[in-house]
Amino acid sequence: MSLRLSAIVIAKNEAHNIKGCLDSLAFCDERIVVDGGSDDDTARLAEANGAKVTVTKEWRGFGHQKNLALSLATGDWVLSLDADERVSEELAAEIRTAITEGLFEAYEMPRLSTFCGRPMRHSGWYPDYVLRLFRRGRARFSDDLVHERVVCDGPVGRLKAALTHHPVLRLEDSLSRMDRYSTARAEMIVNSGRRVSFFTGLVRGWWTFIQTYFIRLGFLDGREGFLLAVANAEGTYYRYMKAWLKGRDRG
């Protein structure tokens, strides 16, 4: 009897992405989408593409949403994707082989992300190994508001084929993403009890640009590499400035 593979996706206002994501997961035995109360057609499109859809009205963070999706999976193995990620035919074949052999309890895979249409092979964005495939019952997601991770009980292997990721199609997407993520990360900083000063954002923001553009060879990614370095620096700057303001307001 072959092992069953469940794909889980969390989404909110991803009508422009959800069909492409689910199409790339057609090789899975089950596709589950947890919609975080979208204002667009995300849930309807997911159902139309054969996914089992659960809609939640309360957003409690990425980790919580993914653990909810995980609790709905019934397969022997689970593959977790974001709506802006895609599985190639090559990666799909490698995933099927991995779960059949079962040499590890989970698998990382390299992720190739694009920024304004350009694949970013430097800037700290590649190979960017992410743990997305695991045996059900042997792993769960951390409860972080953002940048959650998979916590696995057992050895972790690595796949070779890359997961493709399209987080920033336009520069406007980068600005919106930066605002959302910096707010969530600032909340995490404040909740952890860390104290940051006004100058923390200035220093960390500048250092992030240096790291992205020079140390991580972002200049080899062309003009888009420069745009990404600036966006990363701004995200860091606003994260710590928001944390400083929240801490100041809380006394």
For residue 161, the tally of other CB atoms under 10 A from its CB is 17
* Contact in structure between 3 and 97 (CB atoms under 8 Å): no
For residue 58, the tally of other CB atoms under 10 A from its CB is 7
Alpha-carbon distance of 114 to 246, in angstroms, equals 33
Global pTM reads 0.93
Alpha-carbon distance of 102 to 53, in angstroms, equals 29
Site of tokens 């090789």? 27
Task: Lowest mean pLDDT of 52-56, 126-130, 173-177, 240-244, name the range.
Answer: 173-177
pLDDT band at 251 (very low <50, low <70, confident <90, very high): low
Question: pLDDT tens across 92-116, in order?
Answer: 999 999 999 999 999 999 999 999 9
Torsion sign over Cα 48, 76, 81, 164: negative
Model pLDDT, residue 58:
80
Is residue 1 scored above 60 in pLDDT?
no
Question: pLDDT tens across 18-75, in order?
Answer: 999 999 999 999 999 999 999 999 999 999 999 999 999 888 889 999 999 999 999 9
Task: Find the helix packing angle between 171-191 and 222-249, rounded to 10°.
Answer: 30
Query: Percent of the chain beyond pLDDT 90?
Result: 93
Residue 108 DSSP SS3: strand
Query: Percent of the chain beyond pLDDT 70?
Result: 99
